[in-house]
Amino acid sequence: MARRRVAACLILAGYDVTTASDGQEALERARSQPLDLIFLDAAMPRLGTRDIVVGLKGSRDTASIPIVVMAPRAPDTENLIGGGLEYDFLLHKPINRDDLLAVARSLIRSGREARASLPASRVVRGLEGVLEVLDPDTRDHSHRVGEYAYQLGARLGLTLSECEGLRRGAFLHDIGKVRIGGAVLSKSGPLTSEETKMMREHPSHGARILEGFEVRGIAGEAIRHHHERWDGSGYPDRLTGEAIPQTARILAVVDAFDVIVSGRPYQEAASYSRAFDLLRQEKGRQFDPQLVDAFLEMMAPEMVSSRAGTSRRPLEE
Ligand SMILES: [Fe+2]
């Protein structure tokens, strides 16, 4: 009943309103049409409030939509909803019409202002287009790496906004390759020392490109440092161990994994179990050992083989 009353109040105040009868439908609506604000009844059927909020805030397309959770005023309200969730406002039932309209006005206005003043999502979409032109394989690889990074970050306890920053950085991690010629990028044989030097500048190029678009923070640091190695022999800054930002250490693991299983011009695609072997071999050398363990645990531990592998070109690019 809260849904109908809320919808009626908003429609009478002049807002365009769409409703969903359960959590799954709410998620589908939010993904398929532009929304300025979502009112979410904590007692919504099918999907729990936690699943819906995480689903909305965890998706690039819906993360910026403000969410108002409507719940009874009770001592265990926070437990009912789920602690640590990143909704934007808690409205207690029974809902007062004036409160409802004040919250709607405020959140819709601030959401629109934020989207207008911080066009990071538009910048990212624009850069996605650059990636497509650069190389369709790079684009697909970047999408997969973004998803792996987001999932691993969430598993490690990063906040939703940190996970989003990490996913953005992961998606754009090789954007600096636009400064490198296609001949080098698609070369199937060994790189010359000059070509290797050029290739190793792509993380710095990428971080600088994003700075130009004022996309900094987590995404920028993950991009700049995604080829640092745990043992200090990486680039561009030869950072060691935990001096490497955690987001960049996460990105290094998931990037290498996807390169191994999807292949490169210089290297055939390998099986998942082979990739797991290679990641394990590089624990404490190329990768943070704990992050390798967490990633293997996430990626179906039953598939992890204990077989040792053979040496191959370093896991990079
Ligand atoms: Fe890279």
Query: What's the pLDDT at 114?
Result: 60
In the listed set 117, 146, 172, which residue is the last one of a domain according to the structure? 117
Query: What's the pLDDT at 133?
Result: 65
Query: What's the pLDDT at 313?
Result: 42
The enclosing H or E element of 100 equals helix 97-117
Query: Do 98 and 130 share a structural domain?
Result: no
Query: Do 172 and 76 share a structural domain?
Result: no
CATH (domain of 80): 3.40.50.2300
Range of the domain at 211: 120-303
Known catalytic residue at 93: no
Lowest mean pLDDT among 12-21, 99-108, 150-159, 234-243: 99-108
Burial of 247 (0-12, 13-18, 19+ CB in 10 A): buried
- Rounded distance from Cα 133 to ligand 1 centre (Å): 17
Query: What's the pLDDT at 306?
Result: 41
Query: What's the pLDDT at 86?
Result: 73
The enclosing H or E element of 110 equals helix 97-117
Query: Do 257 and 147 share a structural domain?
Result: yes
- Rounded distance from Cα 289 to ligand 1 centre (Å): 20
Query: What's the pLDDT at 124?
Result: 66
Residues 201-256 have pLDDT tens digits of 999 988 888 776 655 578 889 999 999 999 999 999 999 999 999 999 999 999 99
- Rounded distance from Cα 132 to ligand 1 centre (Å): 16
Give how many domains the chain has, as a whole number.
2
- Rounded distance from Cα 305 to ligand 1 centre (Å): 27
Residue 316 lies in a domain: no
* Catalytic residue selected from 57, 177, 197, 283: 177
Query: Do 262 and 200 share a structural domain?
Result: yes
Query: What's the pLDDT at 126?
Result: 72
pLDDT band at 312 (very low <50, low <70, confident <90, very high): very low
- Rounded distance from Cα 227 to ligand 1 centre (Å): 6
- Give pTM, 2 decimals: 0.59
Query: Do 232 and 100 share a structural domain?
Result: no
Mean pLDDT score of the chain, rounded to an integer? 80
| Cβ-proximal residues to 212 (8 Å cutoff; 6+ apart), any chain | none
Q: Could you give the CA distance from residue 244 to residue 180 in angstroms, rounded to a whole number?
A: 25
